[in-house]
Structure 1
Amino acid sequence: MKAFQFVEWQRPGEVRDVPVPEPGPGEVLVKVGGAGACHSDLHLLELPAGSRSFAPPFTLGHENAGWVERLGPGATGFEPGDAVIVYGPWGCGLCMNCRQGMENYCQVPGLPSPGGLGGTDGGMAEFLLVPSTRYLIPLGDLDPREAAPLTDAGLTSYHAVKRSVHLLGPGSTAVVIGAGGLGQMAIQVLKALAGATTVVAVDVSADRLQVAEDVGADETLISGDHAVTAIRAITGGLGAELVLDLVGVTSTLTMAAQMARVLGHLTIVGVGTASLPVSFGSPPYECAVASPFWGTIPELIEVIALANSGKIRMLVEHFGLDDAADAYQMLHDGRIRGRAVITPHD
């Protein structure tokens, strides 16, 4: 089969011929409908050799959905042809966190090891080997080609928002910095979970801000000092209850600290390499700063329920396997409106 693989540090990925995996005991072979292209992949491809404990080659793609193709011995709960989405962070399954569905916070050193990110083959191929049926969530009426990014862009945004919902309500403000694929999903999740809050999108791109408005943002602001002033005006000088930084570079973290309020939440989701200076007065007093990672298996079930109800929807652009390198270049250049999805069987 064909697979789009990370073959060498600081080089673009390549389409290669690899064997079709054979599912072993408890494993499942999934026919891939869609595999999302994520900025995390770009960061991985751009790292120098030796930056991680694993080594190439392996197949990219950690946002995966498709149809059950074949079950290994002892694997139960699904039938061939079932439409499924694949939970991404693969943990040990046995520690306290994993037993609560929080495999994103597996307590075993070196885990979780997501397929497509941690040295294990991911889903940018015709077939994906999934190590356990516990990572499969039924898709219902959703098309795997459209739903694939829900397993990361959707789940990560949902988890980041859900932890702060108790701060939001009538008269509250939530700021989403970065209106790309993650930001667009975060806006929709905020409207679904805390509809009475005012959602403000901030980005450097007017085009992305227009998309943010289309998916539910109440206000949009071009990034910069004037955006901080505008947030202060919107909130009566107090700042926002929740600031989500989906970029994570110096300029956005600086803005985030200035936009947050006393007793608020400043949540860093973006994987930029900047650090947030923390001192006695900045961020504001008792403003909780957190950097959540992905989300839980139960939360992915909730994300799929929201998508099936029509309350959230990922904007996607489809690319064939042979065009995967072009999709990543477009992602690098900021030319993807929502999420690029590789569709091996189109």
Structure 2
Amino acid sequence: MTSTLERANSTISLSTPSTMKAAIVTGPGTITIQEVPVPEPGPGEVRVRLTGCGVCASNLGPWSGPEWMQFPTAPGQLGHEGWGIIEAVGPRVSGFEPGQPVTTLFQNSYAEYDVGSAEEVVSLPMELSEMPFPGEPLGCAMNIFRRADIRAGQTVAIVGIGFLGAMLTRLAKKAGADVIAISRRPCALETAREMGASRTIAMEDHSAIVEQVDALTGSRFCERVIEATGKSWPLDLAGELTGEGGRLIVAGYHQDGPRQINMQLWNWRGIDVINAHERNPATYVRGMREAIEAVLSGRLDPMPLITNAFSLSRLDEALNATRDRPDGFLKAVVRMP
């Protein structure tokens, strides 16, 4: 039997190969799959044999090849929505054992294995061990929902219905809010209705949208508005839909430069503006744990929202689908060999 002292100073692992397949982005819009050494966990780290990894829209900036991007990437880099099985436990790790199903916040998960801090790992119950579970976006949805402070009886507008917007629609509806979903794609609006939105509006004409929400709310507009696109115009729209003393929650990832906003309107209406992006891993882990509870309880069901699955060798197609958003697309995941 392994003693506590031995465990504190040694790596415990299952049998593993010496090499793995990993995706490397070699230039704008191009990848290669290479055989590279399997990483070893250091003190306080675990190695996970990945089952899959979600594809995040934040990858699209680096994928397009901006001047600041350096190619080639490290093996597996950009993948940060992984889930799988703990395969090795490094020294000074407690609470985890080889064989446990987990979801992670690791950063090189477009690969068969990834290594990271045990503090960025969340155990999955056996009921969820067979389903795709990209913990980072699920945790992100829970963190945004918490900071939005949505309550029963409120009118909530969600601007942008993708994977994140659809989950927030469901959470807001379950909280007793009346949800208005606004998106450009008919398939996304249909998804919003399935998630519980009472009204849907096509995101086409700015003034027409404002007029419709004005009429629907008796000129009060919305107590809560969540912008989930990461684009300038929808952010402007979200501000106009927020009622006096309301809360505008910025959930979209704005990665393409500065924004000019109508500060006069924001001042006049006295709205609170929440940047719902987190940087503390512990906050993400909290959200991931809350997401697990929400899925187990039935408040959240991500499975219908994961619409496209690709093999690791087709990561380029997965990224392009995330960029182009073909009809019916909401979320892509990559399945490992």
Same fold (TM over 0.5): yes
C-alpha distance in 2 between matches for 1:156 and 1:320: 25
Gaps of 5+ in 2: 1-19
Q: Displacement of 1:43 after TM fit?
A: 1.5
Equivalent in 322, 328, 334 of residue 319 of structure 2: 328
C-alpha distance in 1 between matches for 2:156 and 2:224: 5
C-alpha distance in 1 between matches for 2:298 and 2:275: 28
Q: Displacement of 1:276 after TM fit?
A: 4.2
Cα contact 2:103–2:121 (8 A) shared by 1:
yes
CA RMSD of aligned residues (A): 2.1
C-alpha distance in 1 between matches for 2:68 and 2:96: 39
Q: Displacement of 1:339 after TM fit?
A: 1.4
Given the superposition, is the C-alpha separation of residues 55 and 290 from structure 1 closer, same or farther in structure 2, using an over 3 Å criterion? farther
C-alpha distance in 2 between matches for 1:284 and 1:237: 15
Aligned length: 304
Equivalent in 299, 304, 321 of residue 287 of structure 2: 299
Q: Which has the larger radius of gyration?
A: 2
1:339: which partner in 2?
331
C-alpha distance in 2 between matches for 1:227 and 1:297: 36
Gaps of 5+ in 1: 89-114, 117-121
- TM-score between both structures, scaled by the size of structure 1: 0.82
Equivalent in 56, 64, 74 of residue 38 of structure 1: 56
Given the superposition, is the C-alpha separation of residues 191 and 248 from structure 1 closer, same or farther in structure 2, using an over 3 Å criterion? same
C-alpha distance in 2 between matches for 1:144 and 1:126: 17
2:13: which partner in 1?
none
C-alpha distance in 1 between matches for 2:80 and 2:130: 14
SS in 1 for 2:293: helix
Cα contact 1:7–1:57 (8 A) shared by 2:
no
Given the superposition, is the C-alpha separation of residues 65 and 325 from structure 1 closer, same or farther in structure 2, using an over 3 Å criterion? same
C-alpha distance in 2 between matches for 1:234 and 1:276: 28
1:1-346 counterparts in 2 under 5 A?
A: 1-8=20-27, 10-50=28-68, 56-59=73-76, 60-86=78-104, 88=105, 115-116=106-107, 122-130=108-116, 132-140=117-125, 141-143=127-129, 145-148=131-134, 151-165=135-149, 168-170=151-153, 172-192=154-174, 194=175, 196-223=176-203, 224-225=205-206, 226-272=208-254, 273=256, 275-282=259-266, 284-294=268-278, 295-314=283-302, 315-316=305-306, 317-335=308-326, 337-345=329-337
One-letter code aligned to 2:132:
E
Q: Displacement of 1:50 after TM fit?
A: 2.7
Deviations 1:87-119 (A, max 9, x none): x2xxxxxxxxxxxxxxxxxxxxxxxxxx43xxx
User: Percent identity of the aligned residues?
Assistant: 27
Given the superposition, is the C-alpha separation of residues 134 and 57 from structure 1 closer, same or farther in structure 2, using an over 3 Å criterion? closer
One-letter code aligned to 1:302:
E
SS in 1 for 2:316: helix
- TM-score between both structures, scaled by the size of structure 2: 0.84
SS in 2 for 1:208: helix
C-alpha distance in 2 between matches for 1:144 and 1:227: 41
C-alpha distance in 1 between matches for 2:31 and 2:60: 10
Q: Displacement of 1:205 after TM fit?
A: 0.4
Ranges of 4+ aligned residues in structure 1 off by more than 4 Å: none
